[in-house]
Amino acid sequence: MSTAPQPSAPLVFLKGHGTENDFVILPDPEGLVELPARTVARLCDRRAGLGADGVLHVVRSAAHPEARAMAATAEWFMDYRNSDGSIAEMCGNGVRVFARYLHRAGLVKDEAFGVATRAGVRHVRLGEDGRVTVGMGRATLPQEEPPVTVTVGERTWPARNVNMGNPHAVAFVADLADAGHLLEAPVVAPADAYPEGTNVEFVVDRGPGHVALRVHERGSGETRSCGTGACAVMVAAARRDGADPAERGVPVTYTVDVPGGRLEITERPDGEIEMTGPAVIVAEGLVEPAWLEA
Round to whole Å and give the CA distance between 65 and 179.
40
Of the candidates 59, 124, 226, 233, the residue annotated as catalytic is 226
Element (H, E) at 248: helix 245-248
**Cβ contact 105:97 at 8 Å:** no
User: Which residues sit opposite 252 in a β-bridge?
Assistant: 267
Annotated binding site: 21, 82, 92-93, 166, 199, 217-218, 227-228
- Alpha helices (H) in 179-243, listed in sequence order: 227-240
Annotated binding site for substrate: 21, 82, 92-93, 166, 199, 217-218, 227-228
Is 231 catalytic? The answer is no
Of the candidates 91, 116, 234, 258, the residue annotated as catalytic is 91
Round to whole Å and give the CA distance between 116 and 197.
23
* Closest by CA position to 227, among listed 164, 180, 285, 271: 164
**Cβ contact 112:73 at 8 Å:** no
**Cβ contact 13:50 at 8 Å:** yes
Q: Which residues are catalytic?
A: 91, 226
